[in-house]
Structure formats: structure tokens, C-alpha cells
Amino acid sequence: MKLIAVTDGCHSVVAVAEKIIAIKDVIDFVQIREKSKSVQEIVTLIEYIVNNGVKKEKIIINDRLDVALCLDIPTVHLPEHGLPLRMVKQRYPHMRVGCSVHSFEKAKEAERNGADYVIYGHCFKTKSKPGLPPNGIEPIVHMKKELSIPIYAIGGITFDTLQSIQAVKADGVALMSSIFASDDPYSTTKKFSEAIYDEK
């Protein structure tokens, strides 16, 4: 399984950069998801973490294709209602493009349109989606049977729910608040990394 850290948009550029740099060696990818920050702030953040040892291959830019292209970041992640996935893949075939999905049908559609991976959620109840019932993990079972691209799970994933994600054979987990709301992001992330590694 792979481990993706997803920024939560709740910290300053410097604070989120320090958290990313602290966990860079115990994650597979970090998704820069900073919807409230300006493009200039996102560029500053990415340049700072790259200059401090975070490999570009580990960085996923959420939504901002322009930023990914300008900074030579090889992976962009599209929201379910973002830029048309097929268009992005056709125009920039060298890029790795992922997509957020919330159902088996949308995951299948994303693969048909050229997605290199999908992040499915939200799997469990989570504070980042207040009032919205979770979509559960059963769709992952169907995705693993019919899709050939990696499927990552997101939403309410804790040490208690991780085993359920492993049981349905997801290719990895994407963690937001578990990491970025933690007072000690490195220790928390390392524990998740070890738990995932132990199951390999």
C-alpha cells in the first residue's frame, strides 16, 4: 500500500511546508490541496519544499494544472467536477493525472477517460465532511475487480479503520487531518507507514 498525505488548507505556507518536510521520508506522495491560498502562495510553498529535499515525483498538485506545468511537477489531481480528465490527458500525455471519485461508476468512468489513479471517498465519517454520510468501502471491492488503475481510499481513515481498508485491498490511503492536525506529524505518519508496511 501507498501512503498519501493531503494538506488540509488550515495552516500558513511556512507551517504546512515544515510539516511536509518533516514527513517527506515516510510518505509516498503529498497532495498539495490548498484551496484558500493564492497561486503565488502555492508556488512559494512548492518551491520551498522542493528546495528542502521533497522530490518533485512525490508531489501531487490539486486542481492547478497551470502550477504543475510551470513548476514541472509530474502529477496533477483533478476534483470530480474539475477540468475534463480526458482533455488533460490528451493535451499533456506525459503527465500523471488522478481524479477524485465518490462511486464505482465514477471510478470506472475516470479510468475510461485516462486516469492514472483514483482517490475514492469519503470512506468513513470525517470532520472534513460534516453532515455528509460516508460512502463506505464496499465500492472499493468492485473497483479492485474491474479496474486496472490504483485505487486510494480517503476520508475518516484512522488506525482503527485502516485494517478495513487493507481488507478490501485498496492500493493505498490518503490522510488529511490524521497528519496535518497532529501536533507531531512525523510520529503519526511513521506509525501509519509502519502499519501499512507490516501488512505488505
Please give the full DSSP string across the chain, using - where no structure is assigned.
Answer: -EEEEE--S-S-HHHHHHHHHHHTTS-SEEEE--TTS-HHHHHHHHHHHHHTT--GGGEEEES-HHHHHHTT-SEEEE-TTSS-HHHHHHH-TTSEEEEEESSHHHHHHHHHTT-SEEEE---S--TTSTTPPP--SHHHHHHHHH--S-EEEESS--HHHHHHHHHTT-SEEEESHHHHT-SSHHHHHHHHHHHHHHT-
Catalytic residue among 11, 77, 102, 122: 122
Is 122 among the catalytic positions? Answer: yes
Residues labelled as active-site residues = 122
